[in-house]
Amino acid sequence: MENDAALNGILESGEAVLWSEAPDPWRYTRPTFMLYIIAVPWTIFTYFWLDAVTGGFQMPKATIAPYPSWMPWVAVSFGVLLLIAGLWMLSAPFWIWRRGKATVHVLTNRRALVVERDRPSRLQALVLEGKVDFRVTDPEDAVSDVDVVCATSKGLLFRAVRQPGEMVRQVAKTIAG
């Protein structure tokens, strides 16, 4: 299993993996595309702001009294910061997609885990106590979110699980049998 390397050192002694899978990276990323509602107008506005402030992307000209000579540089600096923020928002889905490619969802006989292969310190773990319930967001979809909830009312979300109904049946059969 390709996820075995990511699990070395994370699993406790006597802990057995019942199911593990990497999420679908595109469905994992989909919620972040809502950023484009803000990022596209923001970046376009900033581009035109910088164009207007610099007079066609040239160095700011000398100011006329009573304006201080540093004033255009403040506007340009502010515009550059806004442009960097806009570009960061536009690139956010790419970074989340990369995180999705590096994530592994794991269900063991003791815990539910979300492991990032490149950052094992960001481990999310839920100790399975009592009755465990699986809540699938869209049971009819081929890819959906699965919330693992135990009797303590604590839960852990597995985002963008492929074939969630099959996963729930497989794990339920393993736990029961």
Which DSSP string corresponds to 72-132?
HHHHHHHHHHHHHHHHHHHHHHHHHHHHHHTEEEEEESSEEEEEETT-GGG-EEEE--SSE
Of 48, 56, 59, 35, the C-alpha closest to 83 is 48
CB atoms within 10 A of CB 165: 17
Model pLDDT for residues 70-100, shown as the tens digit of each residue: 777 888 899 999 999 999 999 999 999 999 9
Please tell me the pTM assigned to this model: 0.76
Model pLDDT for residues 53-67, shown as the tens digit of each residue: 887 777 766 666 677
Could you report how far apart the first and last alpha carbons of the chain are, in Å?
Answer: 22
- How confident is residue 1, by pLDDT bands cut at 50, 70 and 90? very low
Phi-psi region of 98 (alpha: psi -120 to 50; beta: other; left: phi over 0): alpha
